[in-house]
Structures are given as structure tokens and as C-alpha cells.
Amino acid sequence: MNLFYFIAFLSILFALLVIFSKNPVHSVLYLILTFFTFTIHYVLLNAQFLAIVNFIVYMGAIMVLFLFVIMLLNLNKDTEPVKSSLVKFAGIIGGACLLVVIVAAVKALGKSDPVILKQADLGLVKNLGKILFGQFLLPFEVSSLLLFSAMVGAVLLATKDKPVKA
């Protein structure tokens, strides 16, 4: 139980560092650490499939995409537009709402009972594999063919046409 609270503290700390970091690249790196702590939470909850998907998809693919976008945008202080007072007021309202939610969560922390699973092997990858490759084998294979055809189409669209010499 102490490990859960430590990882929860790290999740909140890294999420706050994402928000308050001045450098956008550091912010994305803190977001990767936040997603890693979520992966640890999924493992503690015995949901290995969600942990693997979170690790591969969010930490791997999406965060690399965020880093590429930030590097391509070339964010400079000179090109940043001045925010209007309406945007600043909306930020204050959003921050106040976040503060209310955090206070309510802290108040409800001691009142909740722990969740006890009736099936201990509920989130195991073995059970998902049995269902996925048993009952849903045909839709799984059809979706893999659709993803493959989308990948081939993306490669064909991305390649430049070479002019035909007469």
C-alpha cells in the first residue's frame, strides 16, 4: 500500500511539472514520466494488458510524436502572441475548478473502501489472448489487414512521383 501512495505522489508531482515547466521539451519528458507512473499503477492493479498498451502506445508513439511536433514548431518567445484578458480569465476559472476537484478528492480519500476484485486474474493478458484469438479471431485478422493496407496507402501517398521521361 505504501508503494501505491509513493507512485501516486510521483504521478501528481510529474503532472505538475508538466504544467509548470518553462521548456516544452522538458514538459514532454515529464509527461513521459507521468505515463510511466500510470503504467506502474496498472501493474499494481493487475491489469498487465493496459500497462503494456500504455507503455507502448502512449510512452512510445505519442510522446515521440509530441517531441517531433515541438521541434518542428520552433517555439520562440518572440513569435508568441500576447494573450487576451479573456484567455487569462478562463485559465483562472480552470485552475479554480482543478483546485476544487483536488480538495474534494483529498476529503474523499479517507471515506472510500478498497476495491476487492472477485476474479483475481481479471486483467491478465492470457485471458485477453484466449478471447481475442478464439472468439474474435476473424475480426482481429481483418483489422490487421486494414491496418496493413492503410500503412501501404500512407507510404504510397508519401512518396513523390518521379516524372516519366519520354
pLDDT of residue 102: 87
pLDDT of residue 106: 84
| CA distance to 18, 81, 91, 98, per residue, from 94 (Å) | 16, 21, 5, 6
- Give, as one character, the DSSP assignment of residue 61: I
Residue 9 clears pLDDT 80, i.e. is over it: yes
Q: What is the CATH number of domain 2-75+86-125+134-158?
A: 1.20.120.1200
Give pTM, 2 decimals: 0.56
pLDDT of residue 158: 73
pLDDT of residue 6: 93
C-alpha Rg value of the chain to the nearest Å: 22
Q: What is the pLDDT of residues 78-97, one digit of tens each?
A: 666 677 888 888 889 998 99
* Among candidate residues 67, 38, 73, the one with its CA nearest the CA of residue 52: 38
Residue 163 clears pLDDT 70, i.e. is over it: no
| Dist. CA 33–CA 63, nearest whole Å | 10
Please provide the average confidence, as pLDDT, over all residues in the chain.
Answer: 82
pLDDT of residue 77: 60
Answer for the pair 37, 14: CB distance below 8 angstroms, yes or no. yes
Q: Indicate the angle between helix axes 24-44 and 63-73, nearest 10 degrees.
A: 170
> What is the average per-residue pLDDT within 18-45?
87
| CA distance to 62, 134, 140, 143, per residue, from 129 (Å) | 25, 8, 11, 16
Give residue 7's pLDDT band: very low, low, confident or very high (50, 70, 90): very high
